[in-house]
Structure 1
């Protein structure tokens, strides 16, 4: 979930430490701030100091910079509280939280898994903008009692405006915004298809991205001039491009996740021909064609599988040499980590493949860790078949 613009980021399958500086833990959740946020802090301090000097002409240059930096700190706290709202509701809903990270355009809460139901998805997505709205209203109430023309009034005004803008902007119904997650939850509940909601919210998010860029240009053309106008256009363009990229990721992720449901080791395994070690490659090829098998497994003298024939290596052997080349020379040694249970599915298959990259895996009917035997062989799962299932339009190089 992303913030301030608290933009949404779906949960991630891996858990690398977020880049940047670790600030500590809150409620046991690691909190990180990226270098991009530090760059933004400098830019905001420099820009806002000019605004402060125009609004408070009696303030020194150093004082204006101090107020600008104070606004950065207030904004960081606001973004953090927005993300903390996501994190707390996620944990109370049984979803683990790995970390909270603050970035140039806001922040994200990294969850251990996706929301299990549309109701939980809706609650997690809307709590962030709700926190920002409450902070904005509380700041506005404080603004009413502070004397105008003071540093405190200036800071609280900016804090009020930024939180209310974040709250309103984030409920726009397009991924990667929080409102996009809410839209996804509604479509998921209505259609029983999470991934349809993701794709629709992604396309709406692209519309929000275009509207953001056009809106900033319109503001420059009709309301603002000079440095302020340029700043608004630059920030609007940056946010719009970020939204477009995030929406594109959501669309691709929705398509990929829908196919992800089809990942099952046993069903994807090719029928495998079992051949003895030392058999000529030409004979193996002939038998594969004759039987209609999609792969070949090499057995030792005791009938135990010891190698998986690499189809690309086998195809690279010239036909005139194939009768004199032993099948062992184009087979990868079968290691325990290349053996997958036939009932392995979804993310478990992906994790196994990512942990041990290879071109072929032996699929067996038996528990993990058991010594594979010829009688238990279901077939061979190839990395190409898995990749083609997940991305049918991919280009093979």
Structure 2
């Protein structure tokens, strides 16, 4: 299984029904350098899984034509080729996303396959569909190519055994990943189709999430039935149930993320922006705070204006809070202010999703809210966090 991860979370501009920005999944794991320019990481659990597959599959081969250590060598080679196949699958997603103008943070290989982490959600259903189809298409191509190669090789050889297993595994990955349920690629395809038909991205994600739960239940029931009806190894049964649990968890996360996205979308984040309280830069911080306390809106943010009453800087909350009480009368507002050019800005026309994406990509404590060259106010990340927490509760 190799679902492609995307940011679908409200604060991630969010995907990843598959993920305010929580720790990004692609940031964990051991770095393996770069492949075609994309950072590649490996989860430690992947090594454990590789060892278990090698031992389980090797023991089966050792009882057949590849006796002794040869069976384990073939099994290990198969595992290596399988992870190369998963990497190629994810590169299909990554290269397609890059071609469509979507940034890629990296590719991570993990216990049950891998995922590609992208910087933002697809801008249109067509792009989402194209990126989602790319992975299974690569796996299908590998499976067909390996099948044709196996037919051309003499039967019974080690190479033929490896190529045949590679063909079967890639065809299974392509077919299983195309099932219409999140977090599988087929779920992304279904979500994109529903989005295109209804114009509602969230509805597509929720529908694909629920079908993902159906796929998870079907996987678990199928594995248990096979265990009852025929010889199924304990490892094979455990693996199938682990896949089912992973699908259920991913589908549920997608549903919750889409529901939260809808709630956040109804929140006018820019209404949380605090107005500016203009003061001359030479005014002491003590006098400015007193002036602010006596004003109609004490929650306003102190802003430095020049002789033409144009805002040129905004008081930095952390710098102002660090000034000792006995020094407030001697520290000017300009001394604890930041120039406008040094503060990230948000456009007043941005919607909630765009604001959250901008804050995620540039997690500063405060952002300017602008309209053209005019500064309308300051949006504090702490205010956004409180609003999101209120929605969550």
Distance (Å, rounded) in 2 between the aligned partners of 1:357 and 1:147: 63
Report the Cα offset of residue 270 of structure 1.
Answer: 5.4
1:189 to 179, 183, 196: 196
Moved more, 181-190 or 102-111: 102-111
Aligned to 2:384: 386
Distance (Å, rounded) in 1 between the aligned partners of 2:60 and 2:49: 16
Report the Cα offset of residue 344 of structure 1.
Answer: 6.9
Aligned to 1:234: 238
* Count of paired positions: 355
Deviation per CA, 1:245-274, whole angstroms, max 9, x where unpaired? 222222232233334545665433356788
CA RMSD of aligned residues (A): 3.9
Report the Cα offset of residue 91 of structure 1.
Answer: 2.7
Secondary structure, aligned partner of 1:179: helix
Distance (Å, rounded) in 2 between the aligned partners of 1:22 and 1:196: 37
1:71 to 70, 78, 82: 78
Aligned to 1:256: 260
1:246 aligns with 2:250: yes
For structure 1, list consecutive stretches of 5 or more residues without a partner in the other structure: 314-325, 368-375
1:172 aligns with 2:182: no
Aligned to 1:106: 113
Whether the 8 Å CA contact 2:276–2:376 is kept in 1: the answer is yes
Aligned to 1:318: none
1:343 aligns with 2:353: no
Secondary structure, aligned partner of 2:120: coil
Whether the 8 Å CA contact 1:298–1:309 is kept in 2: the answer is no
Distance (Å, rounded) in 2 between the aligned partners of 1:393 and 1:45: 47
Whether the 8 Å CA contact 1:173–1:183 is kept in 2: the answer is yes
Whether the 8 Å CA contact 1:265–1:343 is kept in 2: the answer is no
1:138 aligns with 2:157: no
Aligned to 2:221: 214
1:38 aligns with 2:43: no
For structure 2, list consecutive stretches of 5 or more residues without a partner in the other structure: 14-23, 322-328
Give TM-score scaled by structure 1 length: 0.73
1:153 to 141, 153, 160: 160
Report the Cα offset of residue 162 of structure 1.
Answer: 1.0
Distance (Å, rounded) in 2 between the aligned partners of 1:255 and 1:152: 50
Aligned to 2:62: 53
Whether the 8 Å CA contact 1:341–1:366 is kept in 2: the answer is no
**Change over 3 Å in CA distance of 1:77–1:22 after alignment to 2:** same
Alignment of 1:179-328 (within 5 A): 179-225=186-232, 228=233, 230-261=234-265, 266-269=270-273, 295-297=299-301
Whether the 8 Å CA contact 1:362–1:377 is kept in 2: the answer is yes
Deviation per CA, 1:142-179, whole angstroms, max 9, x where unpaired? 33344444323332332222111111110111111000
Whether the 8 Å CA contact 1:272–1:295 is kept in 2: the answer is no
Whether the 8 Å CA contact 1:9–1:108 is kept in 2: the answer is yes
**Change over 3 Å in CA distance of 1:349–1:97 after alignment to 2:** closer
1:7 to 3, 6, 13: 3
Deviation per CA, 1:289-343, whole angstroms, max 9, x where unpaired? xxxx583446899998976999xx9xxxxxxxxxxxx9x9xxxx76557785562
Report the Cα offset of residue 45 of structure 1.
Answer: 0.9
**Change over 3 Å in CA distance of 1:223–1:334 after alignment to 2:** farther
1:20 aligns with 2:20: no
Q: In terms of Rg, which structure is larger?
A: 1
**Change over 3 Å in CA distance of 1:184–1:383 after alignment to 2:** same
**Change over 3 Å in CA distance of 1:206–1:280 after alignment to 2:** same
Report the Cα offset of residue 72 of structure 1.
Answer: 0.8
Distance (Å, rounded) in 2 between the aligned partners of 1:239 and 1:247: 12
Whether the 8 Å CA contact 1:96–1:112 is kept in 2: the answer is yes
Distance (Å, rounded) in 2 between the aligned partners of 1:135 and 1:340: 46
